[in-house]
Structure 1
Amino acid sequence: MRCQPRHKGSVYIWLKNKQTCLLCNEPSDTPQAICTPCETELPWLGDHCQTCALPLPVAGMTCGQCLKQPPAFEQVIAPWTYNFPVDSLITRFKHNAKWPYGRLLGELLAQSLQHRFDEGLTRPDALVPVPLASKRLRERGYNQAAMLAHWLSDSLKLACDEGLLLRTHDTAAQQDLDAKARKQNLRTAFALTAGAVVTGRHLALVDDVLTTGATAESLARLLLKAGAARVDVYCLARTPKPGG
């Protein structure tokens, strides 16, 4: 029995709708809202540090900072460097509530991660978004890291543990500080929620951009101290070294 009486045509099936590229506004030839030429021209991360994903001129190397002072997290996975147009898309998603840009980048990150899993990268037990302080969450209305984590969770069939971490107090915006100030800014900034289950788990922190790694380092140390077996970091983009 047809469920559309008095209508000669078929019900519109939105899943078959042609996507339009969010970058050039031309019809997309991919399942995502980005065309192949625009996707190809994104600032894909090339050779990079095997630990923190810092862009490097040679493949398969570890940067000097990670050799000198190995971070608490095991590995950073990021598809892009923080350059145009990815930087602009992330800014609009993060500060202007342009969620389609974030969703698009999240879908491409999920594809990148699935490729890495197929190549042998160990799947985490859960995704853990970097938390926002309550005041900033009220002002912005959403946590972009949590949104990314839930999109990745749906695409990759991974658990998302949004309630594992707390930001205990509001700190100055990290993007306004240098590396040393970032570390000082984050002292005692995070805590585990009451009853958080961490022991023996492989967890992956989710954030939009990794710059100095201070936030990821602080959270990874907290989780490892609580008994986590391993902490990875999944983010959209990695900033190049200043002047590099």
Structure 2
Amino acid sequence: MFFNLFEERIPANRCVLCARPEADALCAHCRRELERCCALSGPLCRCALPAPGLQPGELCGRCLRQPPGFRAGYCDWAYRFPLDRLINAYKHQGQLPVERALETLATGAPLPWPEADLLCPLPAHWRRRWVRGFDQAERLAAALARHWRRPLVPLLRRRRATPPQQGHGRAWRVRSLRHAFQALPASRGRRVLLVDDVITTGASLRAASHALYEAGAEEVRVWALARTLEGSHR
């Protein structure tokens, strides 16, 4: 049985999912359960959604109608139970011990784009960072930068606060995020791997990619820890 992440604090030296004594944040049993329930397999479209039978370079039907602004999307995990509980406990409940488990999942695969010059986190607005006490994408990107030996360069700034995106459809998200990001001049000529924790509709990453390309980035690709699957947007 999984530990109740929303009603209790995670004790030290325990598995963050089942609370068994464990030094590595995730016990072997829960790691296997995560892989069974949440690991993505098979080809991914540019939008990072699974697309069985898709050939390299091909797009799914949705992306054929409106291609993402970024060149490729990489993701190894589906945003569903129990991984969604871990991510929400970390972001919204301040359960910082969960960070070690998420970093373990994030760094379990090699750098998907060896040509990347740098990693850039998708920034939270300063008000949201102040409320949470940290920026989860920034911390995740820092762990990946250390593991993949790529510089971490915060090329993006939030021009304005945007309403919480959760619970809204893609069209609303696109409108609310228009001109929300500004990229620094240092973006020019750089191959940027943009890092976020969860892709829902991809609207934030599209807007951020657009800002990077406007500033002269050579190429932008995105990496996320987890991907919300179609039909499960919240």
RMSD: 2.1
CA distance, structure 2, for counterparts of residue 32 and residue 228 of structure 1: 38
Aligned length: 216
- Superposed, 1:12-23 pairs within 5 Å as 20-23=14-17
Aligned partners of 1:203 and 1:230 also within 8 Å: yes
> 2:152 aligned with 1:168, yes or no?
no
Instruction: Render the CA deviation track for 1:43-70: whole Å, top value 9, x for unaligned.
Output: 1012353311213344546321112222
State the partner residue of 1:210.
199
Aligned partners of 1:53 and 1:76 also within 8 Å: yes
> 2:85 aligned with 1:96, yes or no?
no
Secondary structure of residue in 2 paired with 1:131: coil
State the partner residue of 1:110.
107
Secondary structure of residue in 1 paired with 2:20: coil
CA distance, structure 1, for counterparts of residue 141 and residue 231 of structure 2: 28
Amino acid at match of 1:25: A
CA distance, structure 2, for counterparts of residue 26 and residue 217 of structure 1: 40
Aligned partners of 2:20 and 2:27 also within 8 Å: yes
Aligned partners of 2:70 and 2:221 also within 8 Å: yes
Amino acid at match of 1:155: H
Secondary structure of residue in 1 paired with 2:166: helix
Q: Using structure 1 for the length normalisation, give the TM-score.
A: 0.81
Amino acid at match of 2:140: L
Amino acid at match of 2:51: L
State the partner residue of 1:139.
131
Instruction: Render the CA deviation track for 1:79-131: whole Å, top value 9, x for unaligned.
Output: 1111011100000111112122133212221222x1x54xxx33421111111
Assess, with a 3 A threshold, how the Cα gap between structure 1 residues 243 and 56 changes in structure 2: closer, same or farther.
Answer: farther
State the partner residue of 2:75.
78
CA distance, structure 1, for counterparts of residue 82 and residue 232 of structure 2: 20
Determine which of 15, 28, 33 is the counterpart of 1:41: 33
Determine which of 152, 169, 186 is the counterpart of 1:178: 169
CA distance, structure 2, for counterparts of residue 23 and residue 192 of structure 1: 38
State the partner residue of 1:4.
none
CA distance, structure 2, for counterparts of residue 50 and residue 147 of structure 1: 26
Amino acid at match of 1:142: F
Secondary structure of residue in 2 paired with 1:62: coil
CA distance, structure 2, for counterparts of residue 218 and residue 171 of structure 1: 12
Question: Highest CA radius of gyration, 1 or 2?
Answer: 1
State the partner residue of 2:47.
52
> 2:182 aligned with 1:187, yes or no?
no
CA distance, structure 2, for counterparts of residue 159 and residue 166 of structure 1: 18
Aligned partners of 2:200 and 2:227 also within 8 Å: yes
Q: Alpha-carbon deviation of 1:132?
A: 1.4
